[in-house]
Chains A and B, each alone.
Chain A
Amino acid sequence: MENLTAFKSYKTDSNIDLHICKNTKFKTNLIEIYFLLPLKEETVNLTALLPYVLYRGSKAFPTSRDYEKRLEELYGADLGVSVLKRGEIQLIKFSLELVNERFLPDKEPLLDKALKLLHELIFHPLMLTKYIDQEREFIKKEISSLINDKYSYAVERCNQEMCKNEPYGLYKLGSITGLDNITETDLLQFYQQLLAKSQLKVLTVGAISETELLDKVNQHFKFQHQQVITFNQTKIIDRVDQVQEVIDHLRVQQGKLVMGFRTGITRRDRLYYALMFYNGILGSFSHSKLFLNVREKASLAYFVNSHIESTKGLLEITSGIDTDDYIKARELIIKEVERMASGEISQNEFDWTKKGLINRLQSSADHIRGLSGHYLLGLINNQPDSINEMIKKLNEVTLDEVIEVAQRVKLDTIYFMDKKVEK
């Protein structure tokens, strides 16, 4: 099984980190290209805008429509252009997933064509003024429309308030005023700097020969490039002076509760695997304390979950509740967090969580994007463990370590989206 989940790492002639997971079980091949940058005020807007402008047109594909036609010709290849935030790292991501020609009627090799398309997108953009202006407007609208999705908005508001003095509080797409201030020259300069100096990682999964792929990446991605920008400067804060409470009033039928915690533990830490247990026992399974006590026993919520952010060391509990139940639900959740800290964890909770976590990890190896997404998080945290290595480490976690984690987790911010009282 090891050979199906492990990535092999290569360095290309142009200093690109190439990570290949050779795997015959999928019907498709996946290529992902990441540019990694530190998340900070000065560049957050440029990083957010650039990939969308690139996708608007290039020499060979002058409009997005030309790209779309090409993708359809390549048997409906999926091209993804996006901006991500992991800890205090901002990532530009281009991904292309396409059917392996073994399954196609005419067996035409698609990989070469896919790499050419990605090359065109990244190295020969048109960057017309109209493209820049239009995409700027789209992102601004995207930012102001975040409120359309009340759950995501609540999560973002909690992050924003909890980390208001840290880069993590910046939104991955930047801000409206920041985007307005970008000039064409700024964007062009930023683009050139990005190609010349940023960390560039290429991840691929599929039934592809490693040497052939390395050759092709060398051939298609030849440029002057030194990886000099340090991308991961994430600051980990593990103390909280005072818990803050933030309440917004909106026209909603249901209150959205988001509680933000500092764990101080990331993928780089000894206790990371114990933190996975902690999160599982508390709130990420249907046998978890939150599900059983807040949903099943008290009937207060349909969903009540906990999640970890493994690069910044945060934990978040989210729930949708009746606005009248705010205090009651908050107290019930805090009680369960306290029970964790006092070591009230049963053998069943521990064992079932271990099995559940292993099941999830093994399952992620069955998803082409699960494999790459998982490996990326390891890479950016300098812990590129394979799934089998992670399972081994999970098996070594003790109850005492989980309790140690529980005592380090501190509530920082309570965000509640309340019903607006109609005047």
Chain B
Amino acid sequence: MDKIYSDHVQETLYYQRIDNGLQVYLMPRENYNRQYAIFATNYGSIDNHFIDPLTEQTVKVPDGIAHFLEHKLFEGAEENAFAKFARMGASTNAFTNYTTTAYLFSSTDYFHESLLSLLDFVQEPYFTEENVEKEKGIIIQEIKMYEDDPGYQVFFNMLQGLYHQHPVKIDIGGTVESIQKISKDDLYLCYQTFYHPGNMVLFLTGNFTVEKTLDLIIKNQQKKDFTPWNGIKRIFPEEPLTVSQHQINKQMDVNQPLFRLGFKETEIDLPGRELVKQEIGTNILLDLIIGRSTQLYQNLYEEGLVDDDFGQHYVREKGYGYAFMGGKTKDPGLLNKRLLSGLYQAVSRLTEDDFNRILRKYIGDFIESFNNFEVIASEFINYFEKGVSYFDLLEIFQEINLDYLTKRHAVIFNKAEAVNSIISGNNLDSERNN
């Protein structure tokens, strides 16, 4: 077992790689009532094309299958996972995003029992034709919930504009049509491919003793048989550096239009630490040119072109990246024009003072993230999959300087093309009758 102590946050992280390939991280926290565990596989909605490890054939699976699989792992031969955790007063949940599927629980009692339940329900799939069919109705309602969410739609459409081929443009949940095609056998195939312990990580935090907990995990894993870990061959299409569409409009019942302006990352092939530096650096850059403390934001706010829902963010994963900004606005066209000219001019106004102030915010936010188990666990998993320890973030902050940001500005805002996504509400006339 290895351990790392961080002087800044005054916390210790313990680490062990188990023989079957599973990597386990533990961060004990005194004075807390809770324990929180997250068991994640490096498998998300973009992993829809791969080599079947048994037949060595290339397969392409229906859209939305990683998310469908997440729902179905909760099934058990005798009792489903929800009931197992309810019995102990613990709560369980899961989420699927573009790159990760994660299962988690939160407990204040029966921690070890809950932990074993988590490991067992994720490692003992139980799919039947009947339980697969029954889930479709539930997932269709989940998909429709997002179809009614203009905030999700405006973001989703922006991705349609940014990408030609990359599967990040596919909805995580798939479509009502695509999930109809999913069978029990498809689920087992994806399960066998992506749920090997070698592709997984377990992160635990809260009130527990490290040695006992680790021992329990090792014993549980030793009882289970896994084939040797040979890695996964994932297939991604060639993605052009240009955007697919410059503007996408959609009509929904909204009172004020929603607007997103997106930029595609073109410096894609970077190793883990450089990738994370690019992610954090570009986010700092965005804060410096359109964040709350900028003159540009203040002007747009006073003109009534943006409100305090406005936000900006840079997303970076292995294989793709994009910057985006937006919110509700009375005039998407004018806002787009003002943002573009503001962004291009901003680079000449970057100052050391502003940079140092924003850096303080990043340091403070990093320390604050240790307050919240949900945040720390998902951030940890996110950076782990990029090949960086979350504890190293403070060091990476120090590697960023104005010179680096100026270069980033040239790449992300000058070379790349912009995408506009707009949701507007023509003919909004809701009928009411009692």
On whether the beta carbons of B89 and A320 are closer than 8 Å, the reply is no
Taking CB atoms and an 8 Å cut-off, the chain B residues in 290-347 that contact chain A are 291-295, 297-298, 301-302, 304, 307-308, 328, 330
Interface string of B44-80 (1 = CB under 8 A from A): 0000000000000000000000000000000000000
On whether the beta carbons of A72 and B357 are closer than 8 Å, the reply is yes
> Across the interface, which residues of B come within 8 angstroms of A142, CB to CB?
307
> Across the interface, which residues of A come within 8 angstroms of B270, CB to CB?
none
Q: Which of B138, B145, B297, B368 contacts A28 (CB 8 A)?
A: B368
Total residues of chain B contacting the partner, CB 8 A: 79
> Across the interface, which residues of A come within 8 angstroms of B108, CB to CB?
358-359, 362-363
Taking CB atoms and an 8 Å cut-off, the chain B residues in 350-396 that contact chain A are 357-358, 360-365, 367-368, 370-373
Q: Which of A97, A252, A354, A366 contacts B373 (CB 8 A)?
A: A366
Q: Any chain B CB within 8 A of the CB of A137?
A: yes
Q: A145-B255, A299-B137, A363-B34 are contacts. A76–B362 as well, Cβ < 8 Å?
A: yes
On whether the beta carbons of A76 and B109 are closer than 8 Å, the reply is no
Q: Any chain B CB within 8 A of the CB of A328?
A: no
How distant is the Cα of A130 from the Cα of B89 in the complex, in angstroms? 53
Interface string of A62-74 (1 = CB under 8 A from B): 0111001101111
Q: Any chain B CB within 8 A of the CB of A197?
A: no
On whether the beta carbons of A76 and B365 are closer than 8 Å, the reply is yes
Q: Any chain A CB within 8 A of the CB of B252?
A: yes
On whether the beta carbons of B293 and A356 are closer than 8 Å, the reply is no
How distant is the Cα of A44 from the Cα of B301 in the complex, in angstroms? 25
Tell me the smallest distance from the CB of B58 to a CB of chain A, in Å. 33
How distant is the Cα of A280 from the Cα of B269 in the complex, in angstroms? 50
> Across the interface, which residues of B come within 8 angstroms of A299, CB to CB?
134-138
Taking CB atoms and an 8 Å cut-off, the chain B residues in 371-429 that contact chain A are 371-373, 428
Q: A248-B430, A250-B253 are contacts. A77–B364 as well, Cβ < 8 Å?
A: yes
Interface string of A235-247 (1 = CB under 8 A from B): 0000000001111
Of the listed stretches B25-33, B156-164, B230-238, name the one at the interface; the rest are far from the partner chain.
B25-33
* A: interface residue count bin: 35 or more
> Across the interface, which residues of B come within 8 angstroms of A28, CB to CB?
367-368, 371
> Across the interface, which residues of B come within 8 angstroms of A322, CB to CB?
140-141, 144
Q: Give the tally of cross-chain contacts (CB within 8 A).
A: 214
Q: Any chain B CB within 8 A of the CB of A223?
A: no
How distant is the Cα of A76 from the Cα of B86 in the complex, in angstroms? 38
Q: Which of A27, A69, A253, A285 contacts B370 (CB 8 A)?
A: A27
Q: Any chain A CB within 8 A of the CB of B100?
A: no
> Across the interface, which residues of A come within 8 angstroms of B433, CB to CB?
247, 249
On whether the beta carbons of A1 and B33 are closer than 8 Å, the reply is yes
On whether the beta carbons of A286 and B86 are closer than 8 Å, the reply is yes
> Across the interface, which residues of B come within 8 angstroms of A71, CB to CB?
361
Name the residue among B88, B293, B364 with the largest chain A CB count within 10 angstroms.
Answer: B364
On whether the beta carbons of B430 and A250 are closer than 8 Å, the reply is yes
Q: Which of B109, B292, B304, B428 contacts A134 (CB 8 A)?
A: B304
On whether the beta carbons of B256 and A254 are closer than 8 Å, the reply is no
On whether the beta carbons of B82 and A295 are closer than 8 Å, the reply is no
> Across the interface, which residues of B come within 8 angstroms of A383, CB to CB?
none
On whether the beta carbons of A254 and B145 are closer than 8 Å, the reply is yes
Q: A244-B434, A359-B107, A366-B32 are contacts. A72–B301 as well, Cβ < 8 Å?
A: no
Q: Which of A104, A147, A245, A362 contacts B33 (CB 8 A)?
A: A362
Tell me the smallest distance from the CB of B91 to a CB of chain A, in Å. 7
> Across the interface, which residues of B come within 8 angstroms of A116, CB to CB?
none
How distant is the Cα of A26 from the Cα of B31 in the complex, in angstroms? 9
On whether the beta carbons of B144 and A359 are closer than 8 Å, the reply is no
On whether the beta carbons of A359 and B357 are closer than 8 Å, the reply is no
Q: Which of B148, B291, B371 contacts A253 (CB 8 A)?
A: B148
How distant is the Cα of A99 from the Cα of B361 in the complex, in angstroms? 10
Main secondary structure, interface of A, reads mixed
On whether the beta carbons of B360 and A249 are closer than 8 Å, the reply is no
> Across the interface, which residues of B come within 8 angstroms of A141, CB to CB?
255-256, 307, 328, 330
Q: Which of A144, A254, A367 contacts B372 (CB 8 A)?
A: A367
How distant is the Cα of A29 from the Cα of B285 in the complex, in angstroms? 28
> Across the interface, which residues of A come within 8 angstroms of B33, CB to CB?
1, 362-363, 365-366
How distant is the Cα of A360 from the Cα of B433 in the complex, in angstroms? 40
On whether the beta carbons of B89 and A103 are closer than 8 Å, the reply is no
Q: A75-B360, A299-B135 are contacts. A25–B434 as well, Cβ < 8 Å?
A: no
The chain B residue sitting closest to A291, CB to CB, is B82
On whether the beta carbons of A359 and B109 are closer than 8 Å, the reply is yes
Tell me the smallest distance from the CB of B137 to a CB of chain A, in Å. 3
On whether the beta carbons of B431 and A301 are closer than 8 Å, the reply is no
Q: Any chain B CB within 8 A of the CB of A395?
A: no
Q: A254-B148, A320-B145, A362-B108 are contacts. A72–B255 as well, Cβ < 8 Å?
A: no
> Across the interface, which residues of A come within 8 angstroms of B88, CB to CB?
355
On whether the beta carbons of A249 and B431 are closer than 8 Å, the reply is yes
On whether the beta carbons of B254 and A148 are closer than 8 Å, the reply is yes
On whether the beta carbons of B9 and A103 are closer than 8 Å, the reply is yes
Q: A73-B360, A302-B145, A320-B144 are contacts. A352–B34 as well, Cβ < 8 Å?
A: no
Taking CB atoms and an 8 Å cut-off, the chain A residues in 328-366 that contact chain B are 348, 352, 354-356, 358-360, 362-363, 365-366
On whether the beta carbons of B34 and A366 are closer than 8 Å, the reply is yes
On whether the beta carbons of B434 and A362 are closer than 8 Å, the reply is no
Q: Which of A98, A104, A148, A256 contacts B255 (CB 8 A)?
A: A148
On whether the beta carbons of A287 and B86 are closer than 8 Å, the reply is yes
How distant is the Cα of A251 from the Cα of B107 in the complex, in angstroms? 41
Q: Any chain A CB within 8 A of the CB of B10?
A: yes
Tell me the smallest distance from the CB of B303 to a CB of chain A, in Å. 9
Q: Which of A104, A148, A256 contacts B256 (CB 8 A)?
A: A148
Tell me the smallest distance from the CB of B142 to a CB of chain A, in Å. 4
Which A-B residue pairs are the 4 nearest by beta carbons? Answer: A355-B89, A75-B364, A299-B137, A76-B361
26 A-B pairs within 8 Å (CB atoms) are namely A27-B368, A63-B298, A65-B298, A69-B293, A72-B358, A74-B360, A77-B364, A103-B367, A138-B307, A141-B256, A148-B255, A149-B149, A256-B148, A286-B86, A299-B135, A301-B138, A302-B142, A356-B91, A358-B109, A359-B89, A359-B91, A359-B107, A363-B106, A366-B33, A367-B371, A420-B430
Q: Which residues of B contact A (CB under 8 A)?
A: 8-10, 29-34, 82-83, 85-92, 106-109, 134-142, 144-145, 147-151, 252-256, 258, 291-295, 297-298, 301-302, 304, 307-308, 328, 330, 357-358, 360-365, 367-368, 370-373, 428, 430-434
Q: Knowing that A72-B361, A147-B253 touch, tell me 16 more A-B residue pairs with CB under 8 angstroms.
A: A25-B29, A25-B31, A28-B367, A63-B298, A74-B364, A75-B363, A141-B328, A150-B148, A246-B432, A254-B141, A285-B91, A286-B92, A296-B138, A302-B138, A352-B89, A360-B91
